[in-house]
Amino acid sequence: MARRSLPTLTSMQCFEASARHLSFTRAADELNLTQSAVSKQVAQLEYIVDQPLFRRVRKRLQITPEGSLYLAEVRKTLALVEMSTRYMQSYGGQSEVLNVTTPMTFGARWLVPRLNGFRFRHPNVYLNISNRTKSFDFDTESVDVAFFYGRGAWPRSECIKLQDEEMVPVCSPAIIPPAGINAPLDLVSLVLLQNATRPEAWHDWFQKQECYTSYSYHGPRFDSFYMALQAARSGCGVTLVPRFLAEEELGNGQLVIPWSYSLYSDNAYYLAYPEHKAEVVKVKNFVTWILDKKDKTPDLRLPSDSCVANNT
């Protein structure tokens, strides 16, 4: 669509206010414009969309069916503009945004607990964290730091290994049979919960122990470790997950390891950032923070009052 055929923000505001009040006059009062100006803005919008948005019935304004459809989209657009504007205003003149991508469960279970305190140490850096499981491209995307699972090589980037992957079976203690689990194949009776990101996991886990079953690929399939862990906690079956992602539940007894055999992967979890951003201060500060915290048990307490007072 040519730029000249796009409506202005003012015309959309005039349309939305007129539709809400069903009056050009009241819309004009709200927007601090003249009634004539509001009417002209709406007319311009009707010309652009080539649809009647209002009609007059007995000197009263009514919105048309086409206008109602358009109104819903206009309100979404105005809300998005307002949210984005307030979002940017909150940064302040000296603030910077650091765009970070991470696999969802890794982000929730490993990364987020290690971010506690970063905001207070670096108050001018705003983290924008998004979930990402697919490939990313530092050359074409606005990504400053990426966490990923793989072999540790990414084009034109620095990659730092954070965590190996040790896969262990976990389940709710409530579903362990009275006789216990006495062999790897006993897990089949508990229902094998599958994970779409590691489709071969159960097959490899059994094979490494020289056990073979046609049920390696059977069972409910989840697209994230997070959902698989939730299913295991709920007693739906047993799932294979990286041990470090289940430490909390294993520690409080919500989950147990029914058979102590670990499957190790050639892949691992890495932190990566573009080579050309190696000296960017916000990237250096974040990478330094993560490397300092990576081998430490996360402190889930809030920072002290003195820290808060010094940074507000």
pLDDT band at 199 (very low <50, low <70, confident <90, very high): very high
Name the band, by pLDDT with cuts 50, 70 and 90, for residue 226. very high
Give me the pLDDT at residue 309, please. Answer: 27
Q: What integer best gives the mean pLDDT of the chain?
A: 88
Asked whether residue 307 carries a pLDDT value surpassing 50, the answer given is no
Q: How confident is the model at residue 173 (pLDDT cuts 50, 70, 90)?
A: very high
Q: What residue ranges define each of the domains in the chain, with the CATH number in brackets?
A: 3-89 (1.10.10.10), 96-164+267-310 (3.40.190.10), 166-264 (3.40.190.10)
Please check whether residue 224 is in contact with residue 107, taking contact to mean a CB–CB distance below 8 angstroms: no
How many angstroms separate the CA atoms of 9 and 12, rounded? 5
Q: Which amino acid is at 200?
A: E
Q: How confident is the model at residue 308 (pLDDT cuts 50, 70, 90)?
A: very low
**Digit-coded pLDDT (tens) for 147-172:** 999 887 777 889 999 999 999 999 99
Phi/psi-derived region of residue 219, left when phi > 0, alpha when psi is between -120 and 50, beta in every other case: left
Higher pLDDT, 2 or 210: 210
Amino acid at 302: L
Evaluate whether 44 touches 7 at the Cβ level (below 8 Å): yes
Percent pLDDT > 90 in the chain is 74
Cβ(222)–Cβ(194) below 8 Å: yes
How much is the pLDDT for 153?
78
Token pair in block for residue 283: 């990237």
pLDDT range class, residue 85, cuts 50, 70, 90: confident
pLDDT of residue 312: 24
**Measured CA angle at 309 (ends 306, 312), to 5 deg:** 145
Residues 121, 284 contacting (CB under 8 angstroms): no
Between the alpha carbon of residue 118 and those of residues 86, 115, 148, 237, 289, the distances in Å are 23, 5, 21, 38, 7
Please state, as a whole number, how many other Cβ atoms lie within 10 Å of the Cβ of residue 135: 9
pLDDT of residue 255: 97
Q: How confident is the model at residue 83 (pLDDT cuts 50, 70, 90)?
A: confident
Q: How many residues does the chain have?
A: 312
- Whether 191 has a pLDDT exceeding 90, the answer reads yes
User: How far apart, in whole angstroms, are the C-alpha atoms of residue 311 and residue 124?
Assistant: 10
52 in Cβ contact with 64 (< 8 Å): yes
Q: List the structure tokens of 160.
A: 């730092």
d(CA 159, CA 295): 17
Give me the mean pLDDT over the 209-221 stretch.
Answer: 93
Q: Averaged over 56-64, what is the pLDDT?
A: 90
Amino acid at 224: S
Q: What is the pLDDT of residue 298?
A: 64
- 269: helix, coil or strand? strand
| Burial of 274 per CB tally in 10 Å (0-12, 13-18, 19+) | buried
pLDDT tens digit string along 107-153? 999 999 999 999 889 988 989 999 876 777 777 778 899 999 988 77
Q: Which tens digit of pLDDT belongs to each residue from 278-304?
A: 999 999 999 999 999 988 766 544 343
Give me the amino acid identity at 40.
K
Confidence of residue 268 (pLDDT cuts 50, 70, 90): very high
pTM score, whole prediction: 0.66
In the numeric block, which tokens belong to residue 11? 């015309």
Give 3-state DSSP helix, strand, coil % of the chain, rounded to 5. Answer: 45, 20, 35
